[in-house]
Structure 1
C-alpha cells in the first residue's frame, strides 16, 4: 500500500464526479478519481451519448457526448489523477484517514466523495419470449446512431422523459412515429409532452406490447393490447425503441456503513453522510426535496468539496469565486 495520503478521493467518474474533481483541483486539493468503467461519463456516456439535454445552465441544448467531452476538457486543465477500470471494494476508517481497497490496490485519503450515481446499470428490457430474437437489430434499448432512424417507421415504447425526449428528437426525421404507453398520462415533463402532441407522432395509449413478429422487408411487427380492455392492434416498424428505464444496483453501499437505503445515501446540508469525512453527491445522494438532475449534482459538488476542505484545512480562507480559486495555479498565472 502506498504511503501517500490524498486530501480527497472521488468514487465515480460521471458528469458530477468529473466536475467535483475539477473543483477540488481548483481548491488545490490532492485528489484522485476512481471509475469502474473504461471511460469517464457514467450513464450519460454509456447509455445516452446521443441524447439532447436541455437543462444544463448556459447551454440551450447539448448532446450527452458533447457535455462529457466539455467536462473532460475542463478538468484536464487542472490535471486530477484519474483511474479507470477500477472498483472500490472496501472502505476502512482509521484514526486520521480512510483506507480504500480497490480491485487493483490500496490507498489512503483524508476524505471521500461518493458520486456513483445509480450504480451498476442496465436497461429494463421488454419481457417477451421472442424479444431476444430482435434485440440489437429491430429492437433497441439505446440510441447509438440517431441517423439510423432517418425516413424509417419507428415505434417508441415508454412514458418517461427518455421516451418522450427521443420521440421529440425523431418526430421530424422519421417516416412515421408511434409512442406506446400503458397509461393515458405520461411521467415526462409536461412541456415536452405538449410539444410532442404538436408533431405527427401517433399516441398509442393505454396499450401494452403483447408480442413481436418478423414482418416483410426486415421490419418488426409490434402487437399491442389495450390495458384493461380487449382492443388489439398491430404496428409494422423498421425499429422498436424501448425506453422502460434503468435497472440499477448500489448494493456495495451497504458494506460501507453509510446508512444507505434502497441504493441511496442520506446526507445533511453539507453533503456529508453518516460517516464524518465521507460525502455523497449526484443521484446517489438523498435528502428532502432532492431533484435528480445533472444540474443539481453540479451544485452539490462544490458544496461537498468546500466542506471537505474546510474540515481538513480550517485555516484556509474559502475563495469567493472562480478567479480567486485559480489565480495561484501555475497554468493560470499568466491569464
Structure 2
C-alpha cells in the first residue's frame, strides 16, 4: 500500500530557493514538506558545485557552495519540515481544496498548495565527442571536489562561467591548467575572464579537443588550435560545455512553459491553481537568474500562497524581525 503524507505546502526542489522558501513558509506558520529527486539537500550546488565560491548572495562577500547550503539547511530547520529525498515528483492531480502529488516510489503527498523550486529540471551534460569512452577514466562534466586534481595536468573545455571558475579554482593545486574554448569570446562574467587571463592558466581559443589518448585513463589530449594540431599532457579533462535542461514530468502537469521554464505572474503564480514557482525554473519579462533573486521570489510566492491555504491570512505578515 502506498504511503500518504498530508501537509499545507509541498515544495518541489531542495536547492537554495527551496530551502529558503521552507524557512519562510515556517515563519508563516505553514506545515512544509520538501521533495527532491536528489538524495541530499542543496540541489545542484551540493551535487555539482559544493566547493565553488559564490559571490552574488547578499551579506556574503564570498561563500563556498557547501557552506551556503549548510546555513540554509540550518535556517530551514526552524520550520521543522518533512524531507522526502531521493524520489522524483511524477504526477500532479487536483483534489478538492488541494493537490495530490505522486512520487516515483508511490508516495502520495496531499497538500493545499505547491511551490516549484526545482532548478530547471533534469540536466544532461552536453557531450564532448572526443570524450566518448573516457568518462570516469579521466573525463568529468563537473567538479564536486578539487582534491582529485592535485598535481595533475588539467584540460578544461568550455567558455562559460563554470569553465572559467573551475580554471581559477584548480590553478593553485593542479600541475597545469589549460582552458580550451572553440570561440575567441567567452560567455563568462567579464571580471572572471579577466582573472583567468591574469592567472597562469593557459588559454587556447579557436580550439577544440580532437582526441584523448592513454592506457587505462587519459594521459594526453590532441587539440586543434586555429587549424593546427597540438598535443598537451592531460591526466584530467573537465568538459564544462553546459547542460541541456529537461523539465521531465513537469511538462505533463498542465503548466504554461516557455523555453523550458515555467511561466509565472508577479505573485509567482503559475497557470495552474494553487501551484506557484520560484527560482531558476521561472520565466517572466525581465527575469534575472541569480540565487539572490530566487530568495526574493520564494518570499513573494510564500506570502501570496498563504491566503490560498488560509483565507484569513494576509499577503504581508509583517517583518520577520518583529515580535
TM-score (norm 1): 0.89
Q: CA shift at 1:218, angstroms? A: 6.8
**Pair 1:126-2:128 in alignment:** yes
Cα distance in structure 1, aligned partners of 2:87 and 2:141: 26
Contact 1:281–1:297 under 8 Å retained in 2? yes
Tell me what 1:161 maps to: 161
Are the counterparts in 1 of residues 25 and 79 from structure 2 also a CA contact under 8 Å?
no
Q: In the alignment, is residue 248 of structure 1 matched against residue 249 of structure 2? A: no
Instruction: Find the aligned partners of 1:50 and 1:265 in 2 and give their Cα distance.
Output: 29
The RMSD of aligned alpha carbons is 2.1
Cα distance in 1 for residues equivalent to 2:151 and 2:74: 35
Tell me the equivalent position of 1:116.
118
CA contact (8 A) 1:219 1:236 kept: no
CA distance in 2, matches of 1:147, 1:87: 31
Structure 2 residues not aligned, in runs of 5+: none
Alignment partner of 1:289 is 2:290: no
Change (3 A) 1:107 1:144: closer
Deviates further, 20-29 or 36-45: 36-45
- The answer as to whether partners of 1:131 and 1:212 remain within 8 angstroms in 2 is no
Q: Which residue in the other structure is 2:109 paired with?
A: 107
SS in 2 for 1:110: strand
Structure-1 separation of matches of 2:218 and 2:90: 45
CA distance in 1 between partners of 2:6 and 2:193 (Å)? 50
Q: Give the gaps of 5 or more residues in structure 1.
A: 328-335
Residues 219-238 of structure 1 mapped to structure 2, 5 A cutoff: 220-226=219-225, 230-238=227-235
Query: 1:321 maps to what in 2?
Result: 319
TM-score (norm 2): 0.92
d(CA) in 2 for partners of 1:144, 1:284: 23
**1:164-179, aligned counterparts within 5 Å?**
164-179=164-179
Match in the other structure for 2:53: 52
Q: Distance in 1 between matches of 2:14 and 2:289?
A: 17
| Shift, 1:263, TM fit | 2.4
More strand by percentage: 2
- Find the residue that maps to 2:195 and give its secondary structure: helix
Q: Contact 2:269–2:276 (CA<8 Å) still a contact in 1?
A: yes
Which one of the candidate residues 268, 272, 286 is aligned to 2:265? 268
Q: Deviations over 1:172-216 (max 9, x none)?
A: 33322211000000000011001111111111011011111128x
Tell whether 2:208 aligns with 1:208: yes
- Residue 4 of structure 1 and its aligned partner are, at CA, apart by 7.1
Q: Verify: 1:277 aligned to 2:266, yes or no.
A: no
